[in-house]
Chains A and B, each alone.
Chain A
């Protein structure tokens, strides 16, 4: 089973709202990732968690705040977003950290910021 789940599937929020995206995997994977994907573009890496610790932050604005409460769960807290932050947010996981490892993607959360 290579399932990564994400909730919610869709989210509409105003620029003053606070919301959170949730990602879960029960494959025992120890690396989890957040990507952002705009229409007709490839996914762009935002954050990497290795063994529940933040290992990569790709210069993401502070209005995006990741959290990894345990090895199965990854959250992305959103606050004061801009309309240009509207995108598909993808979570992925791999068995261990490292570029050689296959990453499995969740279905994504489609975010619209008004």
Chain B
């Protein structure tokens, strides 16, 4: 059974701080990794995809992938109250499906 694990939180950070969200996965053969943001009552919105070891930056967001450790993370710099949401880590499955973690709820306090 392929699994994706996330700390459910809530993770609380002050406005302007760096939020660090972590995710581990069980299938060593996984090749594609995604971070989605989901506001309460809304659908998941893609933040970033990452396929290679290392860092990938997009604005205030940086995804980090370490395949040897089976670990993927998302850093949010200069966190804003509008970043308060649930962040879903997803791993691409062999049949074209996405395997989601349970999500980490982030709260950014003004």
Contact-residue size bin, chain B (C-beta under 8 Å from the other chain): 20 to 34
**Is A17 part of the contact surface with B, judged by Cβ < 8 Å?**
no
Q: Mark B36-50, 1 if CB is under 8 A from A, else 0.
A: 100001111110010
**Is B94 part of the contact surface with A, judged by Cβ < 8 Å?**
yes
Of B31, B44, B97, which is within 8 A of A56 by CB? B97
Residues of A within 8 A of B (CB): 31, 33, 41-43, 45, 48, 50, 55-56, 88, 90, 94, 97-108, 110
Contacts of B88 in A (CB 8 A): 42-43
Contacts of A41 in B (CB 8 A): 102
Nearest chain A CB to B11's CB is how many angstroms away? Answer: 15
Tell me whether B95 and A56 are in contact (CB under 8 A).
yes
Tell me whether B32 and A99 are in contact (CB under 8 A).
yes
List 17 extra interface pairs beyond A43-B100, A105-B36, CB under 8 A: A42-B102, A45-B98, A48-B96, A48-B97, A55-B95, A55-B96, A88-B43, A98-B96, A99-B92, A99-B94, A99-B98, A102-B34, A102-B46, A103-B98, A104-B46, A105-B43, A108-B42
Contacts of B96 in A (CB 8 A): 31, 48, 50, 55-56, 94, 97-99, 101
Please, which residue of chain B has its CB at the minimum distance from the CB of A43? B100
Please, which residue of chain B has its CB at the minimum distance from the CB of A100? B32
Contacts of B94 in A (CB 8 A): 99
Tell me whether A99 and B93 are in contact (CB under 8 A).
yes
Tell me whether B101 and A99 are in contact (CB under 8 A).
no
Q: Mark B64-107, 1 if CB is under 8 A from A, else 0.
A: 00000000000000000000000010011111111011110000
